Amino acid sequence: MMQDTVCKGRGKQRQNGFDWHSKWLGMILVLAATAVPGGSSKTHAQDALRAVVQTDLLADPSPVEKVGGRYVPDDAIGLLMISSESLWNNEMFQLFPTEVFRVQAMETVGFDPMEVREIRASFALSPTTGQPEFGGVVTVDGSVDEAVLLEALDVNAQSMQLGGRTVYQVQPSPPVVLCQLEKNAADSEVWYIGTLEYMDRVVAAKAEVIEAERGPLPNRVANLPARDGVSLVVEMQSIRPMVSGLAMNAAGSLPPRLQPLGQIPGLTDAVLLHLGLIDEATSMELTVVAIDDSAAEQIESIVQDSLIEAEAMADAAIQRELNASEMSPAMRQATEAYAERVSALVKEAIQPNRVGTDLSIAIESKMGIASTGVLVGLLLPAVQAAREAARRMQSSNNIKQIMLAMHNHHAAFGELPFSAIVDDDGNPLLSWRVALLPFQDENELYQQFRLDEPWDSEHNLPLAQQIPSVYQPPGAIVPPGHTIYQAVVGDAIGLKPRQRTGFREFLDGLSNSVLVLETNAEQAVVWTKPEDIAIDLDDPLKGLGQAWQGGFHVGMGDGAVKFITDQIDPELFRKLLTRAGHEVVAIP
């Protein structure tokens, strides 16, 4: 028989609750198993699930365990369930050092993760303060070393008595407690971890659910057959207005044809997500339960239209990358065929299925870990290429922002920034990059500089470590505080050395004159230092061409950003550098 025993929790004033949350979250993730998918007891998805279970019962007369309402308070709006019984049998864990992991867990958190039968965590909003409340109940088919667990959570030995239970306070604000709820002769233990006010409601929630007497969430999950896996059920009725408002605001930043996605929360009664890991199979099920049949039809239409738009956007992105690449026609054709085939597979896999008020997407893969490894190996070059493209795009945007700041500086003062901030005698103190800070939403940082002191003065030198993101080259291996974004400086090129330079002096035209460029990593300079690459017009590409595979970005005087290939004719590049060379330039 299960017996109520002391609930262990304790209190110690701590200034930083994040450390505790990280520890507990780590333990929860360590135990991550597979779970029970939630769903309305009246939905078609659940009816279909029951049909499967009933079919199984014809061959197996053993009773089917239900999720029930145990530890699910009536005011709960979300439930996370983790069941680990089949987790360790999944193929992906065959090479996992489970023997070492089990001993390590026992020594660090006080229990064997393979003995965790179930984790059931729910969350709600406080009826008095409106603040989030949560509570997790962990059932262990074994014993927990209480001393080790308390030490892992940084809990001291002081305790308090609440409702006949011994409670240990883990953190004071919000008050989070730890209790041992039950213990039986077979060393099965049940533990609670969560907010103090929520604990009594969690413990009071019984397994049996009478519809008229319980809340929406217990009613929704009460009759679901228990399944191995990880599942999340969110009841939307009480939080629909809030979530809908947030979704509509967020959708405003999406492309126009994807913005209707923001309407879905306002049409939804519940969301159910399930992840299963059984033997070699991996499955994921997502179900949106609409408020009525009409809402379900509307959600289905929005999802279908969004999938079509997402596919078109992906195709367009792939075409842009192909157009910017220098691959052979045969390689381009092969890449297009591969992208088209993968796109078709993905589109087929995520097609939604609507039955009544339920709209579901179910994905299942029986591909083993070995096959997955082969697939990852095949996709790795494509993934690396995508990362490279994303970094190049970010770097191009950085230069665009630098050029915009230069134009704003010229609009404010009638001139470009000096190549260096100088003292009264014309000696260089700080870089032009510092002078642009007020035009890059970095005025607070700009105000910290002493403009009458050099970049490496006792006051200014530490500021070099506060490099703005616009000067940070993504993917470039450079020392901290260094940048590869440098200005073209010279008597006949770009900015005049420590002199006034205006747009009217670019007689070759702003669109034909390079002002800013990416150097090779070894040419990087401290961003606050009044130093830029020394360009030799007899060898204008020296120190350039290796920022990216195939070339480097430049910022033109008109604000445009162009990619210069490392195969460019040096004479042509020299013409692009000059300010008033009167050359005829055709940019490739």
The residues, ordered by sequence, that sit 6+ positions from 438 with a Cβ below 8 Å of its Cβ are: 446
DSSP label of 583: -
Is the separation of the CB atoms in 583 and 575 below 8 Å? yes
Half-sphere exposure of 28 (CA within 13 A, CB side): 21
pLDDT band at 143 (very low <50, low <70, confident <90, very high): confident
Place of tokens 């004033």: 13
Are 532 and 555 in a shared domain?
A: yes
Q: Give the domain-ending residue among 235, 259, 293.
A: 235
The answer to whether residue 16 is domain-embedded is yes
Q: Identify the helix (H) or strand (E) that includes residue 554.
A: strand 551-556
Q: Would you state the pLDDT for residue 466?
A: 94
Are 469 and 563 in a shared domain?
A: yes
Given a cut of 50, whether residue 5 has pLDDT beyond it is: no
- For residue 293, give both structure tokens: 């049949």
The answer to whether residue 562 is domain-embedded is yes
Encode 71-86: b = buried (16+ Cβ within 10 Å), e = exposed: bbbbbbbbbbbbbbbb
Estimate to the nearest angstrom the gap between the alpha carbon of 196 and the chain centroid: 30
Among candidate residues 127, 326, 145, the one with its CA nearest the CA of residue 238:
127
Instruction: Kindly write down the DSSP assignment for every residue of 170-221, as one continuous string.
Output: EETTTTEEEEEEEE-TT-EEEEEEEEHHHHHHHHH--SS--GGGS-HHHHHH
The answer to whether residue 555 is domain-embedded is yes
The stretch 449-466 carries a mean pLDDT of: 95
- Within 10 A of 275 (CB to CB), how many other CB atoms are there? 19
Range of the domain at 87: 1-235
DSSP label of 562: E
The residue ranking higher by pLDDT, 157 or 294, is 294
Using one digit for the tens of pLDDT, what is the confidence trace for 189-234? Answer: 999 999 988 999 999 999 888 888 899 999 998 887 777 888 899 9
User: 465: buried, middle or exposed (CB in 10 Å: 19+, 13-18, 0-12)?
Assistant: exposed
Name the average pLDDT for the chain: 81
pTM of the model: 0.54
Are 33 and 158 in a shared domain?
A: yes
Given a cut of 50, whether residue 40 has pLDDT beyond it is: no
The answer to whether residue 582 is domain-embedded is no
Using one digit for the tens of pLDDT, what is the confidence trace for 497-553? Answer: 988 999 999 998 999 999 999 999 999 999 999 999 999 999 999 999 989 888 999
Q: Would you state the pLDDT for residue 52?
A: 37
- Which of 35-44, 165-174, 318-327 has the highest mean predicted lDDT (pLDDT)? 165-174
The stretch 388-406 carries a mean pLDDT of: 90
Using one digit for the tens of pLDDT, what is the confidence trace for 167-198? Answer: 888 887 778 889 888 887 667 899 999 998 89
CA–CA separation, 177 and 166 (whole Å): 10
Are 231 and 286 in a shared domain?
A: no
The answer to whether residue 331 is domain-embedded is no
Q: Would you state the pLDDT for residue 22?
A: 40
Are 429 and 281 in a shared domain?
A: no
CA–CA separation, 80 and 187 (whole Å): 25
Among candidate residues 160, 279, 185, the one with its CA nearest the CA of residue 229:
279
Is the separation of the CB atoms in 122 and 134 below 8 Å? yes
Percent of the chain, pLDDT > 70?
80
pLDDT band at 423 (very low <50, low <70, confident <90, very high): very high
Are 226 and 256 in a shared domain?
A: no
Q: Give the domain-ending residue among 214, 235, 256.
A: 235
Given a cut of 50, whether residue 337 has pLDDT beyond it is: yes
The answer to whether residue 336 is domain-embedded is no
Secondary structure class of 132 (helix, strand, coil): strand
Q: Would you state the pLDDT for residue 36?
A: 35
Are 519 and 396 in a shared domain?
A: yes
- Which of 283-287, 345-349, 553-557 has the highest mean predicted lDDT (pLDDT)? 553-557
The answer to whether residue 384 is domain-embedded is no
Are 165 and 241 in a shared domain?
A: no
Is the separation of the CB atoms in 327 and 385 below 8 Å? no
Using one digit for the tens of pLDDT, what is the confidence trace for 432-456? Answer: 999 999 999 999 999 999 999 999 9
Are 247 and 111 in a shared domain?
A: no
Are 183 and 285 in a shared domain?
A: no
The stretch 329-353 carries a mean pLDDT of: 81
Are 410 and 475 in a shared domain?
A: yes
CA–CA separation, 542 and 533 (whole Å): 9
Looking at the structure of the chain, the number of domains it has is 3
Q: Would you state the pLDDT for residue 321?
A: 73
- Within 10 A of 363 (CB to CB), how many other CB atoms are there? 12
The answer to whether residue 583 is domain-embedded is no
Q: Give the domain-ending residue among 235, 264, 297.
A: 235
CA–CA separation, 464 and 482 (whole Å): 8
Q: Would you state the pLDDT for residue 458?
A: 95
Estimate to the nearest angstrom the gap between the alpha carbon of 190 and the chain centroid: 33
Is the separation of the CB atoms in 367 and 373 below 8 Å? no
Using one digit for the tens of pLDDT, what is the confidence trace for 113-141? Answer: 888 888 999 999 887 888 889 999 999 88
Are 81 and 126 in a shared domain?
A: yes
Using one digit for the tens of pLDDT, what is the confidence trace for 45-93? Answer: 444 433 433 333 334 445 667 888 999 999 999 999 988 666 666 666 6
CA–CA separation, 466 and 527 (whole Å): 10
